[in-house]
Structure 1
Amino acid sequence: MSKTVTVQDIAALAKVSTATVSRTLSHPEKVSEKTRELVMKAVEETGYTVNEAARNLRKKQTDSIVVMLPNIGNEIFSSIVEAIETVCAKNGINVLIADTEKASMSHGRARAYFSKNRVDGIIILDGKLPLDTIPTGDKTPPVVYAGEWNIDANYPIASIDDALGIQLAIKHLSELGHTDIGHIAGPYETTPGKVRTDSFYQVLKQTPNSPKKPWVFDGDFSLKSGKSAAHAWFQLPKNERPTAVMCASDAMAFGFISTLTKLGIHTPRDVSVIGFDNLPVAEYYSPALTTVHQPRDSLGILAAHTLLSLINGSSIKTLKPIEPWLVERDSTAKI
């Protein structure tokens, strides 16, 4: 059985002290180039590897963060997580994933993640996570919200400017001549759902000739709720049907359009439809979906850099929302 190489072996081979070896491996910028070359040559010759667990224990850091999200299978969340992982990998940080909607994720288990002994920081993508899940005090690692957030929480928030997205969508429909614009809303208990719904009403009030009581269907961001909204729209008297519908998610737009197609309603000839997300499938849908693009990669990058800054001792309270943009395709047309 081969002998385990130790710091003492490296020190003897490089003819330096063990303290110099440790300093070279932990903070190479603090030793001379000659010393660094001697130590690294000895490391290469012996095949020595740093015991990361032991080094992290000395630093009182884990070099890990956890991302807490409500559905790991959700394409929006997964793309944000991918961007977070890219930033963290470049900084030597491991990313753990905790699905808050799993049956096994009890309140106590979720709360246990908020310990500096387990992770160095936490990114929360679940705005419905109870605030009492997050302990207060020095033992709680830095926390950043991303995409969704609790309005009563006092932590940095990386977000998309949803209000601007709704404004861009309605402006586009208005320029096409639509005045009777409806909305398939997201769940009001989530911050994106609430902001997009509130913004829809606010923007419509400022839009000339818009109805005082616009048609709004309460959805939940899913294909199924888009299907239900289509049946509700179809059952309206023809002269009361909105000529354009702003959907709070691409999934609801897909469900809405596909169901109406089966009912003999053509998009955009009979009704123009806009989504919100710009999922990869949107440009390949039939018709290709006009939608508000969420820069999900930028959101993940912002959240990751913010958390790493907090871990390193920076103080950050407010982040500027990331601006979305409208992608015009084939699901909208002049009235």
Structure 2
Amino acid sequence: MATIKDIAKKAGVSISTVSHVLNKTRFVSESLSNKVKKIAIELNYSPSAIARSLKKNETKTIGVIFDRNTNPYFAELLSAVDKRAYENGYSIIISNFESEHKRFEFNLNTLMQKKVDGLLLFGSEINSYPLSCLEQYSKTPMVFMDIDISVKNHLVDQILSNSVYGAYKATDYLIACGHKQIGCISGNMSSKVNRDRFKGYQKALEKAGLMVNKNYIFEGNFDCRSGQDCFEKYMRLPRNKRPTALFIFNDLMAMGFMNKAYSNGFTIPDDISIIGYDNIEYSEFLNPALTTIHQPKYELGIQSVDLLMQRIKDPKLETQVFQLKPDLIKRNSVSLLDQKGR
């Protein structure tokens, strides 16, 4: 691979002159500049990203740490992150930690060793982790998604998904459709997102004068199989004591529940109404199409990169917090009951 030393030798100029031409750091006559550029092309010269990063103290890379790479929600989100990063001249390095604290710390340290210019962190599980692993990187620009923590001596921007509001809206819709026996399938309650969605579910029931029935609460793990497992738990309830509707905390668990329900002869929404959360791309292609809460994933991805670009350019900016607003997407998985809940 050709170096600037090879270009300088062939052009009969100094290495510093070649450097100034290629990096546009000092005036060089047009004729000499054209000569150097022509030779660089002839020699197939490509600047070393490592050398450039050492010189400019930037790598033009963004580290992205998120929870699970099997969830379509993150795939859609990362697509927007990658697009926006590219538009700003950056590439991304992706790492997931599967809700494992040690793996999160390992991935964080690995990305920092690669000298990324900034970090995007997605995953409310991080709220429960010790902050010491983040505090040691206080000079690295960061944007948090659903991570409601403060890092000592660090200005961190935040984007919050407003899960309480989204869950309230989902449960309130079920109530408006005449349902009174409303259950839920949550994820692990150690996660802030799950606790917030449960708060929204509880808030809507209480406002309608309905009790939270602990027998109607099932815990999954944000994947299809745990949705299937929760159907088995649902079936253990006496037929006349089952909820008529379920608010399921993400679309993947809703898909798993629906799949198992169909294989057991259930019809949705006639036998049970279902509302999901996230509005992943697959949700509208289910049969019936899944009523769900839309999270603005594309907007989130764009906003997170834009915030990080601002923080990279001006590390002393005042911290910013953005609240997203989930929307209800009405499809065909919720039935309309009469006022007696039948």
Q: TM-score, normalised by structure 2?
A: 0.81
- Which letter maps to 1:273? I
Q: What residue number does 1:172 align with?
A: 173
C-alpha root-mean-square deviation of aligned residues, in Å?
Answer: 3.4
1:150-229 aligned at under 5 Å gives the runs: 151=149, 153=151, 155-207=156-208, 209-213=209-213, 215-229=216-230
- The whole-number CA distance in structure 2 between the counterparts of 1:167 and 1:278 is 16
- Which letter maps to 1:330? N
Matched pairs, number = 327
- Which letter maps to 2:141? P
Q: What residue number does 1:84 align with?
A: 81
1:108-123 aligned at under 5 Å gives the runs: 109-113=106-110, 115=112, 118-123=115-120
Consecutive unaligned residues in structure 2, runs of 5 or more: 338-342
1:49-88 aligned at under 5 Å gives the runs: 49-88=46-85
Deviation at residue 251 of structure 1 after TM alignment: 1.4
Contact 1:223/1:254, CA 8 A, preserved across alignment: yes
Contact 1:114/1:140, CA 8 A, preserved across alignment: no
Q: What residue number does 2:328 align with?
A: 326
Deviation at residue 325 of structure 1 after TM alignment: 1.2
SS at the partner of 1:115?
A: helix
- The whole-number CA distance in structure 2 between the counterparts of 1:76 and 1:283 is 14
- Which letter maps to 1:141? T
1:141 aligns with 2:135: no
1:260-271 aligned at under 5 Å gives the runs: 260-271=261-272
1:278 aligns with 2:279: yes
1:43 aligns with 2:41: no
Deviation at residue 24 of structure 1 after TM alignment: 6.2
Contact 2:251/2:292, CA 8 A, preserved across alignment: yes
Alpha carbons of structure 1 residues 138 and 252: separation in structure 2 relative to 1, 3 Å: closer
- Which letter maps to 1:160? S
- Which letter maps to 2:68? N
Deviation at residue 151 of structure 1 after TM alignment: 4.1
Alpha carbons of structure 1 residues 151 and 237: separation in structure 2 relative to 1, 3 Å: farther
- The whole-number CA distance in structure 2 between the counterparts of 1:149 and 1:108 is 15
Identity of aligned residues (%): 26
Deviation at residue 19 of structure 1 after TM alignment: 6.8
Deviation at residue 99 of structure 1 after TM alignment: 2.6
Which stretch shows the higher mean deviation, 211-220 or 169-178?
211-220
Alpha carbons of structure 1 residues 310 and 7: separation in structure 2 relative to 1, 3 Å: farther
1:21-40 aligned at under 5 Å gives the runs: 22=19, 25-26=22-23, 39=33
Tell me the alpha carbon deviations over residues 164-206 of structure 1, each in whole angstroms, 9 at most, x when there is no partner.
Answer: 2212212322222222221111211112111111111112211
Deviation at residue 21 of structure 1 after TM alignment: 6.5
SS at the partner of 1:297?
A: helix
- Which letter maps to 1:134? C
Which stretch shows the higher mean deviation, 164-173 or 268-277?
164-173
- The whole-number CA distance in structure 2 between the counterparts of 1:241 and 1:181 is 9
Contact 1:10/1:21, CA 8 A, preserved across alignment: no
